[in-house]
Structure 1
Amino acid sequence: MNDGAVRTAERVLDLFQGARLTPTQRRIAHSLVQHAPSAAYLSAAEVAELAGVSQPSVTRFAMALGYSGYPALRRELRALAGPRPADGGQAGDNPMQRAVRVEAQHLGRLVEQLDNLDAVEQAAKLLVASRPLPVLGLRAAAPLAAYFGYFAAKVHPDVRVLDNGGTHLLDRLDQARAAGATALLAIVLPRYPRETLDTLREARAAGLAVVAVTDSAVSPAAECADVVLPAAVGTHLVFDLHTGPMAMAMVLLQAMCDAAPGGVQHRLEQFEATAARRHIFEA
């Protein structure tokens, strides 16, 4: 997104803040935010196809927000969006350049979002205090969960990465809770595995605080989380780009280090001493 599109997405997101939406309605809201401002010029049928829901669901969504129907909501969206935009790239860009340029714009939006660190600091305090710390990431989110877990283990005494689904997943969550876990970090990326969302609900029911790094404040994970840290994903290639969520995850890890500086420094010194003794690295 360019700067204008980012501002439009933020204004569209404001329409949904505080609304009590069903999971289906959250999917519609998420699609409208992700594709703002062009979504403001789509029909109800086109929005339904974009969100993967039925056309009547789009009408019910508009009415849940207080509009007489989807046409009234679309008029509001068009007022927020302004004239229908052209492609967000620059003249002469090839498709790969456009994809990376949009990703850079996502990072620019993240920079602005981090003007206020309250949510990041709240999440860091919850996670750094949890012993052990379970980190959930399934399917597309599994590599990011493992990446976060690799570095978090250098500053946290007991990180447990839950990156495999199946019948053992909830067992491992129960084991972490029984061992003293008080919070869960979840990396939740499109297309939002059902098993991930079910696990978040189980975690909440078990009394764990849930921190979600996800692609949008109206992601399906938001309704299951105590703290939501949104970072947009790139959608201009065959497979999504996850640069934003990776950056957010590492910002969160930095905030965890800042929340417990003494213990972090001690563990880092221990690791460096061990690495030197075992000759782990060439440089």
Structure 2
Amino acid sequence: MALPSVRALLKQREASVTASERRIIAVLLANYPSAALTSISQLATAAGVSDPTVHRLVLKLGFEGYPEFQRALLAEVDARMNSPLSRLESSADQPHTEDTQQAMLGSLTLAIGKTAELASREDFERTVSLLADPQRTVLCCGGRASGFFAAWLAVLLSQIRPRARHVEPSLERGSEALADLSPGDVVVVYDYRRYQESVVQFARAARDLGAHVVLFTDEWRSPIASFADAVLVSFVQSASPFDTKVPVVAQTEAVVAALVQRASVDAKNRLKRIEALRAGRVAEDA
């Protein structure tokens, strides 16, 4: 269940606080959200109350202090500014190019270029090394907007190595996959803003079980980045109001290409066996 916004909290508590605290709420709602982005003293002066009165109100709202109150407000503003709807609404007032196709393709080219320019070679090589070991089980997972990339990676990996599969990153529905993990196995996670808590929890549980965590994420970085073994960052902003995942596809393809190069003979033999089975015949010895 989503937590109420700061605005909603202010309105909910307006009738149950003191008269001085109501003045603070009135100032905050009248100049929302800018009134709360000043210092505590400036807000107190605007409402005609003391600094401790502002502090008491913030505590009543459920925050540990004014800094945490401001962080919650900034996170709320950021989430709204970066939502597809708000970005679509803001773009309505901007002049549009006649050639939308060229503008979009150009912005995607820039996103891929920036991703390549700032890519970490160390994290890429670490990812390839982990996935190249056929003794490691590999679980691939992602959130609502990125799960299909994890499924696609699992399909590609299964063509060139054993023990790779797609799982749902949920402690409730993916616990069986976690139960089968051994220390040293690999969990590949795709997680992009707005980061999904169930995905974060699943990745952390895998890490606690001794698995290596490889993260595909955006430039703002999922919380998983704080404990991942390798982090592959892509730049997702484009001419569209929706974050682009084109660089993610490119990164995924690059990892698979590197894996094929590293284990070309094994990959070729495995593909021969798979093709033979699809054709309904027993594969010849390689």
**AA aligned opposite 1:57:** R
Q: TM-score, normalised by structure 2?
A: 0.60
Tell me, in whole angstroms, the C-alpha distance in 2 between the residues paired with 1:224 and 1:234: 25
1:120 match: 124
Tell me whether 1:271 sits opposite 2:274 in the alignment. Answer: yes
Q: Is residue 260 from structure 1 mapped to residue 263 from structure 2 by the alignment?
A: yes
Matches of 1:225 and 1:164, distance apart in 2: 15
Corresponding residue to 1:151 among 156, 162, 168: 156
Kept after mapping to 1: 8 A contact 2:154/2:166: yes
Q: Using the alignment, how far apart are the partners of 1:143 and 1:248 within structure 2?
A: 14
User: CA–CA distance in 2 between the matches of 1:207 and 1:216?
Assistant: 26
Structure 1 pair 60–241 and aligned structure 2 pair: CA distance change class (3 A): closer
User: Retained in 1: the 8 A contact 2:136–2:184?
Assistant: yes
Question: 2:59 corresponds to which residue?
Answer: none
| Alignment counterpart, residue 135 of structure 1, candidates 122, 136, 140 | 140
Q: Counterpart in 2 of 1:193?
A: 196
Using the alignment, how far apart are the partners of 2:205 and 2:235 within structure 1? 26
For residues 151 and 218 of structure 1, the distance between their equivalents in structure 2, rounded to whole angstroms, comes to 25
- Conserved in 2, the CA contact under 8 Å of 1:138 and 1:165? no
CA contact (8 A) 1:146 1:163 kept: no
Check conservation: 2:214, 2:229, Cα contact below 8 A.
yes
Shift of residue 97, structure 1, vs aligned partner: 4.4
Show structure 1 runs of 5+ residues with no match.
Answer: 1-43, 62-88, 279-283
1:220 aligned partner: 223
**Contact preservation (8 Å) 1:136, 1:186:** yes
1:41 alignment partner in structure 2: none
Q: Is the 8 A contact 1:133 1:181 kept in 2?
A: no
Q: Which residue, 52, 57, 61 being the options, matches 2:71?
A: 57
Larger Rg: 2
Alpha-carbon offset, residue 59 of structure 1: 11
Residue identity in the other structure for 1:206 = L
Give the superposition deviation at 1:274. 2.7
Question: Cα distance, 1:193 vs. partner?
Answer: 0.7
Tell me what 2:24 maps to: none
**2:258 and 2:105 mapped to 1: Cα distance?**
27
Work out whether residues 155 and 264 of structure 1, in 8 Å CA contact, stay in contact via their aligned partners in 2.
yes
Instruction: Please list, as runs of the form range in 1=range in 2, the aligned pairs for 1:66-215 lying within 5 A after superposition.
Output: 92-93=97-98, 97-113=102-118, 117-129=121-133, 130-163=135-168, 165=170, 167-175=172-180, 177-178=181-182, 182-215=185-218
Structure 2: segments with no counterpart, 5+ residues: 1-32, 38-66, 76-93, 282-286
Q: Which amino acid aligns with 1:172?
A: A
Of the structure 1 ranges 268-277 and 104-113, higher mean CA displacement relative to structure 2 is found in 268-277
Q: CA deviation at 1:234?
A: 3.4
Q: Percent identity?
A: 22
Q: Which residue of 2 aligns with 1:232?
A: 235
Task: Answer yes or no: is the 8 Å Cα contact 1:131–1:181 preserved in 2.
Answer: yes
Residues 169 and 198 in structure 2, CA contact (< 8 A), matched pair in contact too: no
The C-alpha deviation readout for 1:144-172, integer Å capped at 9, x for no partner, is 11111111110111112013636121332
How many pairs were matched up?
200
Whole-angstrom CA distance in 2 between matches of 1:132 and 1:117:
24
Give 1:201 shift.
1.0
2:150–2:190 CA contact under 8 A, matched in 1: yes
